[in-house]
A and B are shown apart, each in its own frame.
Chain A
């Protein structure tokens, strides 16, 4: 080996050693993952289930003047339900009136207009007299029992009288993130024997969760 070659080798070794020193000094390439210390914060919370019910329209239904034998199909009531219930919700109807009397009570506080003969379990196309209600539209799974009508006062709507206690009239199963609405139409007729005068009352829409 010539001197020149020896110098070259020494030069290379020195260069490599310098690089090594630099890498140690600057920790290059450095991995500072060990330097990071965990500072986790445990977070916890429980989201409560809820349900809200709003009568977004038709909270008051005015039937106007009734002529016995001439049914009147009044405006619709839209019930909006919002819930995070996993299994869905149910809408029940009730009027608190005992027996076959409807919510419409005469000013004499005694006489009532009767319920329509159809029941929530078995609604029927409108025939006869009384106060009836029908679900003609729903965002989710309208029950077939309510007939094939899709609009207010549709001849194919099937009606039921409103029971005394909350009876399930519309059920939506499963989780629904958004507002879910159902539309209801009212129809009324009275027999000739109906006492003249003004009748009024309240019908309650009840929303509860479906059991898991």
Chain B
């Protein structure tokens, strides 16, 4: 019971005390108060200015006060006056000395009472023009403790006086610092600048920053207005509220001097907001990845090994005559193969026609081309017909994977020994025949590549030749070189088979004599054909030169079997012209050698030109 009573009493007291405490908090303002806080006068030398300040006693006790004055000559960057006293020479007076309190300088104010204090500013006649600064203080008077080691703390409040004495004054300004961030990831952007009064009198300085983007509207950030006294520096701060600034900005900070003139300072800023940059980067990365993926995927298809997916092979197959099946299988596969084809491709120029798809297409093609030699060239156009074009594209091989094979670049040939190729070409002479034999379905792809089979089989025996006896003249030239190169190197490497088949080469070799003989009408053809063609070996064997020259071949090949003097168009060249193939390589070669007939040369020329 007793405890409850105590609690009730405490609660009751709480209610009684709390309101009092609350009210005291509301009226907590105590101490000495002064108003106003600043005066800004312009007073002529010899002139006088009076003003009043109001002192208020916020305490519950009587306030004893005394008025004081003190000079200040500087303010901090924030604007806080510094009352550091500087020693004065005798006879020199300052504003603090020019202030007088005619009525009351000290006194007492009743609790909660106030008193007006009048003061006068008397500017001496000799006063220096410019700014003069001081403060009028009302200081609480406290009795100094005695007999004890202790300190009394007195409070003092003041009114700042900014006096300007007209005359020869300067009101110049300078922006001493303006260094916004050079790079920002996002807004808002904090801007800071400092302005110094380099004149002799104070003034209000308005500052702002103009942001000029490379495109778009200008932005302006108001930095505010500050009163600057001579030799002092004021700090300005502003905020550019743009949340997602983007781009390159030129920032021009300007500040007014006392004459309303402007001083300025420039800087630059690059803004790339993360909120924008990151998504853009991510999208770019994704795009790159997709592109890479697509490229890889594409490459994979193109590079598929000879035995690989039919897709790669397919492009070749259509071009090649379907007729010759037996030899074809290997060759066909070879065509798709990338590397071998390249080697062949070099030598291929002539051969290109058939396996236009892949330069890489395996040595078989090269072999074929070589074997077919000029024939292949001619044949190529036939088979490649459409493909023929690719031969030219040898350089474009990359772009035209299918065609590429048909148009092996010279570089590709390099791996293949030219001589061999030449020999093969002779043998291959049969190949062109194969190409020429579009009628035969089985041979088609194989036939093109069929050069290989030709390798295996003596040139004469080569199925192609047998199948395509007609027009022997033209083919020999182109194919010779190519054939040589192709036959030697590529075929074996790319398709192993070729190598195995090489034994047949010896047969071809005899044909090679054509090279030595240069029976090939390269010279005639040479003009148009590549240099390689001009070379004796090239002419006959065709192997090397023609390969490079392959580009043109397609046209020439088309039809104009060697017999025809007219230069075959590229497309013609491509067309292996079964007629050529028909003729046995040896016969063709002989004819070419003997005749050096230009017409023969032409077909290779086309290639040669291409190869070049």
Contact = CB atoms under 8 A, between A and B. Distances in A.
A207 B29 CA distance: 14
Contact of A165 (B35, B83, B152): B83
Given A171-B76, A204-B155, A52 B56 contact: yes
Contact of B149 (A55, A62, A173): A62
Interface in B424-480: none
Contacts, number: 188
Contact of B75 (A65, A107, A198, A211): A211
A173 B566 CA distance: 98
Nearest to B31: A54
A201 interface: yes
B268 interface: no
Given A49-B38, A63-B149, A212-B227, A87 B144 contact: no
Given A60-B152, A212-B225, A48 B36 contact: yes
Given A49-B37, A61-B151, A62-B150, A56 B30 contact: yes
A203 interface: yes
Interface in A25-65: 48-56, 58-65
B157 A51 contact: yes
A173 to B, nearest CB: 5
B246 interface: no
Interface residues of B, number: 52
A53 B32 contact: yes
Interface string B51-66: 0001010110000000
Interface in A56-97: 56, 58-66, 77, 79-80, 82-83, 85, 87-88, 90, 92, 94
A176 to B, nearest CB: 13
B82 interface: yes
A206 B31 contact: no
Contact of A66 (B38, B149, B154): B149
B293 to A, nearest CB: 56
A137 interface: no
A52 B36 contact: no
Contacts of B146: 107, 198, 200
Contacts of B41: none
B78 A203 contact: no
B35 A50 contact: yes
A186 interface: yes
Given A49-B36, A80-B31, A200 B155 contact: no
B58 A54 contact: yes
A204 B148 CA distance: 19
Contacts of A206: 83, 137, 155-158
B137 A210 contact: no
Contacts of B227: 211-212
B506 interface: no
B142 to A, nearest CB: 6
Contacts of B29: 52, 54, 82, 179
Q: Which of B37, B79, B151, B158 is most buried by chain A, counting CB atoms within 10 A of its CB? A: B151
Contacts of B32: 52-54
Interface in B252-297: none
B81 A60 contact: no
A199 B135 CA distance: 30
Given A50-B33, A52-B56, A90-B80, A207 B70 contact: no
A151 interface: no
Contacts of A63: 149-151
Contacts of B125: none
A145 interface: no
Nearest to B229: A211
B38 A168 contact: no
A34 to B, nearest CB: 45
Contacts of B226: 211-212
Interface in A93-110: 94, 103-104, 107
The number of chain A residues touching the other chain, given as a range, is 35 or more
Contacts of A65: 149
A208 B157 contact: yes
B152 to A, nearest CB: 4
B12 interface: no
A154 interface: no
B154 A203 contact: yes
B34 to A, nearest CB: 6
B153 interface: yes
Contacts of A164: 85
Given A51-B37, A208-B135, A168 B157 contact: no
Contacts of B78: 88, 90, 171, 173, 210
Nearest to A78: B153
A61 B142 CA distance: 13
Contacts of A61: 150-151, 153
Nearest to B237: A173
A200 B148 contact: yes
B34 A166 contact: no
B84 interface: yes
Nearest to A58: B153
Contact of B31 (A52, A103, A201, A209): A52
B3 interface: no
Contact of A59 (B28, B56, B80, B152): B152
A93 B562 CA distance: 114
Given A49-B36, A209-B38, A202 B28 contact: no
Nearest to B232: A211
Given A171-B80, A205-B153, A206-B158, 16 more contacts: A50-B34, A50-B36, A52-B34, A53-B157, A54-B155, A60-B152, A63-B150, A82-B29, A104-B151, A107-B147, A171-B76, A171-B78, A204-B155, A205-B156, A208-B160, A211-B80
17 contacts: A50-B37, A52-B56, A56-B30, A62-B148, A63-B150, A65-B149, A107-B146, A173-B78, A198-B146, A198-B149, A200-B145, A201-B152, A202-B152, A204-B155, A206-B156, A210-B78, A211-B38
